[in-house]
Amino acid sequence: MHPLTSNDIESEISYAYLHAVASHAGAGCHNANRASDGNGIDAIITGWGPFPNGGYIQEVDIKVQLKATVGVPSVNNGFISYFLQGINRYDDLRSEALVTHRILVVMFLPPNSDHWLSITENELLLQRCAYWVSLRGADPSQNASGQTIYIPQNQILHPDSLRGIFATRSRNETLNYQLP
């Protein structure tokens, strides 16, 4: 048996964050299987309507690619820049040929792992947060190793934002990438 690496722990914390947010939003969340993981899907979230300001679709699935980093986010004009490794992942996330929308969720953790999690009798505290972005419709990359993407700083993944994603999709509207 080998202990989890720091990257493994970051990844597991991002899953815990996603599950907590989905649960609080009243949505189901499950980890993807090996085949899905090989296609850039780490989790699938399902929301059931009716959704606030939603449409006629009463069950919405969102596929999620999760990333976690201890890097300090670089913010410029309300957008966080993040380098997404792997052009295949980038192309999967930006594809408009997929029925089920995909989002990228990036969890930013404090650089010091001692500050990631704090538990007392009164609270469970996970430091920092995760942001979400849809890359659907983004331009092809000119880079072979990855692509810098821009996440709106106001797109923190929390129960209300997740309900908003479900409502958008329940109206059969797309989640499109926006450049700064």
Q: What average pLDDT does the segment 89-113 reach? A: 94
Residue 34 — very low, low, confident or very high, per pLDDT cuts 50/70/90?
Answer: low
pLDDT tens-place string over residues 41-87: 999 999 999 998 999 999 999 999 999 999 888 999 999 999 999 99
Whether the predicted pLDDT of 36 surpasses 80: no
DSSP secondary structure code for residue 137 in this structure: T
**For the segment 107-166, what is each residue's pLDDT rounded down to a tens digit?**
999 999 888 888 989 988 788 899 999 999 999 999 989 999 999 999 999 999 999 999
End-to-end C-alpha distance for the chain, whole angstroms: 46
Lookup: tokens for 142: 């000119």
pTM of the predicted protein model: 0.92
Sign of CA dihedral 106, 111, 117, 120: negative
**Which amino acid, one-letter code, is at 18?**
L
DSSP state, residue 4: P
Q: How far apart are CA 149 and CA 180, in angstroms?
A: 10
CB atoms inside a 10 Å sphere around CB 55: 16
CATH topology of domain 6-170: Trna Endonuclease; Chain: A, domain 1 (3.40.1350)
Q: Angle at Cα 35 formed by Cα 163 and Cα 5, nearest 5°?
A: 80
| Predicted pLDDT at 72 | 86
For β-strands 59-69 and 74-76, DSSP reports them as: unpaired
